[in-house]
A and B are shown apart, each in its own frame.
Chain A
Amino acid sequence: MALLIYGAVLVLAALAESTVGYRLDALGGGRVNLVLVLVAAWSLVRGAQDGLAGGLIGGLALDLMSGTPFGLHTVLLGLVGWGTATGGGTLERGGLALLFGTAVLTTVAYHGVTVLVLRVLGWDFPGLMRFVNVLVPTIFLNALFMPFAAAFARRLDRALSSWRRLELE
């Protein structure tokens, strides 16, 4: 149930990213990666398994809207969802530092691997300067959005947990 609801949120985020996100380009093309941040936050709250599932759903939604080879975002975000909980632990053990650190690392890893995979698949590398110019504001925006995404994920998790308890009683 929780995954279904969060999956719907991820699909909406992917939709927003492809229809509104590009209009809000900041400082040379950087934009907030809603799906990436929501997947990472979900992974921190719910653990590796749910993180992986969330990443696959969010990635699939992005793949449906992207011009890149199909499956690229699904695989990458699945790995991000799984790896965030595995490498970063849970949200209970970390505060803002964990959130910001997660945002920085996942953004660098996600975009770095995207560009490398595209290069391997025959696409041209955008150039180091362009890559850095886009990546730096994107990291900043993702780090800013991360606490809100984590708060949302945690609240949704608690709401669903208490609802489940009520159902069992």
Chain B
Amino acid sequence: MARVAPARRRSRSWIFVLLLLGAVGGLMLAPGPAHEVEAFGSRLLEPLQASVSAVAGQAEDVTSVVRRMSELSRQNDQYREEIDRLQAEIARLRELEVENRDLRNLLGLKQRAGTGELLPVRVIARDPSPFVQAITLDRGTDDGVKEGMTIITWRGVVGRVSRVSPSSSKVLLITDTSSSISGRIQSSESRVTGIIRGRPEGGLLMQRIPQEETLQTGETVVTSDFGGLMPEGLVIGQIIQIRRKDVDVLQEAVIEPSADMKRLERLYVLLSPSDGR
């Protein structure tokens, strides 16, 4: 193939440029054909533009989402950490609230119960017999526990130590049918006393209350130092039912114990002089 000389090639380029300028100039001078050419070109390019634009838009969306995702993930981690921290704080505050209430009640209890010390104890077992309401505690004579000492929670009296060994002690609950303590109705004007025993069907029964005494349900019953078994003024429970017959000399009151005997926790041995220490 014959080679085109550079001078001829340059002159052809110039001719092409001049023709293009002439065409453009002609189209500028004649708006009608120019519009036709523009419309044709647009129709030809529009699908491509749309496709590319869509792909580009999606790509931008994806990068934006990816960028936002990492940001959201970071924010999410921050919020999660914050939530965990706040939840831990709430749990700690609740625990403090319970402890505070417990201590306030114990303080009141201690003021009422006298000068005795409170020894925290834990229930390690219950009596295997379903007919005996007794528990075993994790402290014994090594910690100063003695027979006859009173066991309390901040809600009220639980029972008395019936047997004690060096490292553990058995407690007969006040709800046992063999338990018998002296109690006093706190809110009654006469402050009448009676004997409180465990009921076979659960709960407590206050007996030997004179018929002429007026009792009301909801009244609080506390321990009486009559007999010297327990210190005065420890909460036993509330009256939920009064049993009286006109023909009887005495009446009885059914009492709901304040301490939950099925779920005994935060127990204390009252190491007070009145327990014979």
Q: Which residues of A contact B (CB under 8 A)?
A: 14, 17-19, 21-22, 25, 29-31, 33, 35, 62, 65-68, 70, 73, 111, 114-115, 118, 122-127, 129-131, 134, 138
Q: How far is the CA of A31 from the CA of B129 in the complex (A)?
A: 9
A123 with B201, Cβ < 8 A, contacts A65-B136, A66-B132, A134-B130 known: no
Q: Is the CB of A65 within 8 A of B177?
A: no
Partner of B128, one of A30, A62, A125, A131: A62
Which residues of chain B are near A21, meaning CB under 8 Å?
A: 126, 128
Which residues of chain A are near B126, meaning CB under 8 Å?
A: 18-19, 21-22
Q: Which residues of B contact A (CB under 8 A)?
A: 124-132, 134-136, 162-163, 170-172, 177-178, 197-198, 200-201
Which residues of chain A are near B127, meaning CB under 8 Å?
A: 18, 22, 65-68
Q: Is the CB of A127 within 8 A of B200?
A: yes
Partner of A123, one of B170, B171, B177: B177
Partner of B177, one of A17, A22, A126, A134: A126
Q: Is the CB of B178 within 8 A of A124?
A: yes
CB distance from B234 to the nearest CB of A (A): 21
CB distance from B139 to the nearest CB of A (A): 16
Contacts between the two chains (Cβ within 8 Å), count = 80
Q: How far is the CA of A124 from the CA of B201 in the complex (A)?
A: 13
Which residues of chain B are near A118, meaning CB under 8 Å?
A: 131-132, 178
Q: Is the CB of B134 within 8 A of A66?
A: yes
Which residues of chain A are near B135, meaning CB under 8 Å?
A: 67
Question: What are the 9 tightest A-B residue pairs by CB atom distance, in nearest-first order?
Answer: A67-B134, A127-B200, A124-B177, A130-B200, A18-B125, A22-B126, A67-B170, A123-B178, A126-B200
A131 with B131, Cβ < 8 A, contacts A123-B178, A125-B177 known: yes
Partner of A134, one of B125, B131, B171, B172: B131
CB distance from B94 to the nearest CB of A (A): 25
Q: How far is the CA of A68 from the CA of B136 in the complex (A)?
A: 12
Which residues of chain A are near B125, meaning CB under 8 Å?
A: 18-19, 65
5 other A-B residue contacts (CB within 8 Å) besides A22-B127, A122-B178: A19-B125, A22-B130, A68-B127, A114-B131, A129-B201
Q: Is the CB of A66 within 8 A of B177?
A: no
Which residues of chain B are near A22, meaning CB under 8 Å?
A: 126-127, 130
A to B CB contacts below 8 Å, 18 in the list: A18-B126, A21-B126, A29-B130, A30-B130, A35-B128, A65-B125, A67-B132, A67-B170, A68-B132, A68-B134, A70-B163, A111-B131, A114-B131, A118-B132, A123-B178, A124-B178, A126-B177, A129-B201
Which residues of chain A are near B171, meaning CB under 8 Å?
A: 67
Q: How far is the CA of A84 from the CA of B197 in the complex (A)?
A: 37
Q: How far is the CA of A110 from the CA of B162 in the complex (A)?
A: 24
